[in-house]
Amino acid sequence: MDSSKQIEILANLIPPKSRVLDLGCGDGTFLEYLIQERGCFGYGIELDDENVGICVKRGVHVLQLDLEQGLKLFEDQSFDVVLQIDTLQHLRNAEIMLKETARVGKMGVVTFPNFAHWPNRLSVLNGRMPVTKHLPYEWYDTPNIRVATFKDFQSLAEKNQLHILEAFGMKDNHRVRYFSNLRASTAVFKFTAQTTTRE
């Protein structure tokens, strides 16, 4: 995550004292913030040895698991919130993990680089894959094996009967509410498996 402002924006999507599962938690920075500032409790899932070690030093509960193997370890609705913060685009089983996020959590929060952001569109029009702050790799060495836009995720959510509670973009540490598919570098979605709005 790029900044403390982005952490604050995303943290505000998560109710205080929630039981949280953070998929691909990295070095545990966000989960540590949720624990300290929002009174949350939970676990991170991370594969990288170095990041797991940093999480442990931070005092963040972490499980070293490969997300490609799914979340069979966890029962239905066992967490209040399941997070996929810049994780979905790295997964081969992206749709399965989205379903698992909705199964394991009462609510899910997903963020990913928005491929439809206008500089990316301009780069493609010029015949090149984009290389930006949020997509910093060349096409041949990127860890992102998926690219998606706001509209792509909305279609996938509809296909899997997910109810989007909130959607907005982020750019330069600010929310982007209007024309997000064009103006935002990062897409943010909060959703539930319920197909009707909660009271």
For residue 194, the model assigns a pLDDT of: 67
pLDDT band at 197 (very low <50, low <70, confident <90, very high): very low
Find out whether 186 and 149 touch, Cβ atoms under 8 Å. no
Q: What angle do CA 105, 74, 6 make, to 5 degrees?
A: 45
1 — pLDDT class (breaks 50, 70, 90): low
Decide which of 194 and 42 is more confident.
Answer: 42
Provide the 8-state DSSP code for 59: T
Strands 41-46 and 62-64: parallel
- What's the pLDDT score for residue 48? 94
What are 36-51's pLDDT values in tens digits? 999 999 999 999 999 9
The fraction of the chain above a pLDDT of 90, given in percent, is 67
- Say whether pLDDT at 84 is over 70: yes
Closest-CA residue to 166 (of 104, 81, 52, 92): 81
> What does pTM read for this prediction?
0.88
* Residue 188 Cα to chain centre, angstroms: 7
In this structure, of 73-82, 117-126, 177-186, the range with the lowest mean pLDDT score is: 117-126
User: Per-residue pLDDT for 63 more than 90?
Assistant: yes
pLDDT at 198: 44
The rounded Cα 88 to chain-centroid distance in angstroms is: 6
Ordered structural domains, the chain, with CATH: 4-192 (3.40.50.150)
In the structure, what pLDDT confidence band is assigned to residue 54 with cuts at 50, 70 and 90?
Answer: very high
Range 113-121 average pLDDT: 84
Triad 16, 6, 111: Cα angle to 5°: 85
Is residue 190 a contact partner of residue 111, using CB atoms and an 8 Å limit? Answer: no
- Confidence (pLDDT) at 199: 42
Average pLDDT over residues 175-197: 85
For the chain, what is the mean pLDDT?
Answer: 89
Tokens matching residue 101: 């996020």
For the chain, how long is the longest CA-to-CA vector? Answer: 48
Owner of token pair 């935002």: 184
pLDDT digit string, tens, across residues 130-172: 677 767 767 776 776 788 999 999 999 999 999 999 999 999 8
Mean pLDDT to the nearest integer, 90-119: 92
Distance CA 81, CA 83 (A): 6
